């Protein structure tokens, strides 16, 4: 299991329409995120937390707990779920909207664009909401293929899953058309929630043996966006990890292997385990 992150800083600057918490209240009600390690939606939330400079306690599992355990966190039986003081929120879109609306931004990494001030722009609200909703569709389509795969149903052998895989290619072409340029994301001059979500979902595709791909010579803007996001400290801190049956992230060495393994290279888990075990004997 990955290690928890503590916090020495107990006060935060928030927007005028948000409340200010005292240090004692923050200590008593530490911000906490419940999530599964591999979820691309949870990773996007974690990245926004880091980009906003917000400390949080990690309640992390690498597999899905029982329905009874999940129900203690959220009635949807889903994560991520954020507990922030007396506020409990689930659904990644709601959580990211809350974080970007309630907390002021941190300085951008040197030479990099800052995180957008708003979840959606007042002047382009409907378009931004459409892109965000379409990214949610892309995410659900992708994770459906993944979940069916681990239930023994490859997408090539199931009509619904096959349609999800086909849908993804049309969605990726649409995203390519919505990106401003090869040097910008969905919103000029800043890193938007849309940029973060798209990059997280593309990383997820490359870290599961699902026989899916987002890369294409016809999508240079998507490729450029993903490459830019990979260079950001927040993406490196909250890195995407490979998963296949048997992976538990139980050791530092296993996490290191999972951080490097992609569909393009690296030994399978069984091969790596055999090599790692042999090297220790």
Answer yes or no: is pLDDT of 179 > 70.
Answer: yes
What is the rounded average pLDDT for all residues in the chain? 88
CATH number of 23-102: 3.40.30.10
Indicate if 125-237 has the same CATH topology as 23-102.
no
* Distance, CA of 29 to CA of 84 (rounded, Å): 7
Average pLDDT on 29-40 reads: 90
CATH number of 125-237: 1.20.1050
* Residue 19 confidence (pLDDT): 31
Average pLDDT on 152-176 reads: 97
What is the domain partition of the chain in residue ranges?
Answer: 23-102, 125-237
Q: What is the pLDDT of residues 225-240, one digit of tens each?
A: 999 999 999 999 999 9
Average pLDDT on 181-209 reads: 97
Q: What is the pLDDT of residues 117-155, one digit of tens each?
A: 999 999 999 999 999 999 999 999 999 999 999 999 999
Q: What is the pLDDT of residues 48-84, one digit of tens each?
A: 999 999 999 999 998 878 889 889 889 998 889 999 9
Answer yes or no: is pLDDT of 10 > 80.
Answer: no
Cα angle for residues 248, 251, 255 (degrees, 5° grid):
70
């Amino acid at each position: 299991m990955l290690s928890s992150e503590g916090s020495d800083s107990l006060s935060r600057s928030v927007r005028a329409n948000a409340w200010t918490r005292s240090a004692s209240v923050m200590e008593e009600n530490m911000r906490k995120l419940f999530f599964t390690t591999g979820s691309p939606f949870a990773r996007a939330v974690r990245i926004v937390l880091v980009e906003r400079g917000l400390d949080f306690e990690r309640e992390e599992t690498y597999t899905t707990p029982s329905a009874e355990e999940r129900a203690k966190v959220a009635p949807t039986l889903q994560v991520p779920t954020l507990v922030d003081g007396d506020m409990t929120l689930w659904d990644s879109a709601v959580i990211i909207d809350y974080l970007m609306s309630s907390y002021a931004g941190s300085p951008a990494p040197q030479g990099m664009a800052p995180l957008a001030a708003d979840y959606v722009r007042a002047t382009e609200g409907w378009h931004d909401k459409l892109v965000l909703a379409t990214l949610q569709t892309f995410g659900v389509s992708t994770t459906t293929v993944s979940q069916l795969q681990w239930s023994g149903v490859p997408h090539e052998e199931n009509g619904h899953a096959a349609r999800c895989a086909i849908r993804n290619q049309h969605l990726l072409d649409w995203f390519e058309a919505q990106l401003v340029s090869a040097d910008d994301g969905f919103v000029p001059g800043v890193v938007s929630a849309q940029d973060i979500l798209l990059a997280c979902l593309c990383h997820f595709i490359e870290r599961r043996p699902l026989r899916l791909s987002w890369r294409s010579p016809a999508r240079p803007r998507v490729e450029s966006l993903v490459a830019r996001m990979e260079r950001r400290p927040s993406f490196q801190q909250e890195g995407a990890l490979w998963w296949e049956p048997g992976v538990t992230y139980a050791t530092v060495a296993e996490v290191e292997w999972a951080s490097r393994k992609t569909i393009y290279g690296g030994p399978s888990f069984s091969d790596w385990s055999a090599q790692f075990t042999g090297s220790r004997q």
